Amino acid sequence: MNLSVYFVTPDGADDALVLAALRGGATAIQLRDKTATDAEMTAQARRLIPHLTAVGVPLIVNDRVEVARAAGAAGLHIGQGDGDPRAARAAIGPDRILGLSVEEAAHLTAMPPGVVDYVGLGPVRATATKPDHAAPIGLDGLARLTAAAPVPAVAIGGVNAADIPAIKGCGCAGIAVVSAISAAPDPLAATRALATAWSTA
């Protein structure tokens, strides 16, 4: 599981955006869409999965266990409001990736052992991409939470290429970004720049 450049889709992402991130070197992709129906999301996941599988990149579905199962996705990502991770694990089985959003130390303490494969730590900064986000943790909070995490951690929330040395220095396994890729004039080139920045940091 390579989480170094983890692209999280904005609402309503078209396939072309996801494929641009893939071709730019995204190592993991999360299909996150708060507006699509389950049927739409399942159909999009089914279209994308063959392209990702061909290059060994996992497609991880945000929130929706049934979409992840129906599409045969590689994984599921849930937040603190999405129920007990043990229930999500039971629903997806032992072989799929399970990710959990963590916003504070208590969330790590409450995490059942051996259930979650990675955590998303954040938001590092305030971000307009997720209007209801928790209080930003900053790079200092990121360092503390990463040190306390029993599984690989990715940093999310207002992250861009300039943050990569600090984030890698925290011991994170990668960055998870929406707008650094989706709002870039050239998403493929932006992804490539993130991948290069990660590998050279």
Residue 75 near which of ligand TZP, Mg ion, none (CB within 5-8 Å, type-dependent): none
Which of residues 63 and 163 has its CB atom nearest to Mg ion in the complex?
A: 63
Residue nearest to Mg ion as judged by C-beta position: 79
How many whole angstroms separate alpha carbon 185 and alpha carbon 162?
Answer: 17
Tell me the binding residues: 30-34, 62-63, 82, 101, 127-130, 158, 178-179
In angstroms, the first-to-last Cα distance of the chain is 19
The contact pattern for Mg ion, residues 29-68, with x = CB under 5 A and - = no contact, is ----------------------------------x-----
Residue whose CB is less far from ligand TZP, 179 or 196: 179
Buried/exposed code over 20-42 (b: 16+ C-beta within 10 A; e: otherwise): bbbebbbbbbbbbbeebeeeebb
* 3-state secondary structure (DSSP) of residue 119: strand
Cβ proximity to ligand TZP, 74 vs 124, nearer residue: 124
Angle of helix 38-54 relative to helix 15-24, nearest 10 degrees? 30
Residue 19 parent element (H or E):
helix 15-24
Q: What is the DSSP string of 65-116?
A: HHHHHHHT-SEEEE-TTS--HHHHHHHH-TTSEEEEEE-SHHHHHTSPTTT-
Quick check: 104 binds Mg ion (CB under 5 A)? no
Active site residue 32: yes
Q: Which residues bind ligand TZP (CB under 6 A)?
A: 8, 122-123, 127, 129-130, 133, 156-159, 177-180
Between 54 and 172, name the residue whose CB sits nearer to ligand TZP.
Answer: 172
When asked if residue 79 is in the footprint of Mg ion (CB under 5 A), the reply is yes
| 8 A C-beta contact, residue 28 and residue 52 | no
Tell me the closest approach of the beta carbon of residue 113 to ligand TZP, in angstroms: 24
Which of 4, 89, 96, 101 is flagged as catalytic?
101
Summarize as ranges the residues that interact with Mg ion (CB under 5 A). Answer: 63, 79, 82
Catalytic positions, please? 32, 101, 130
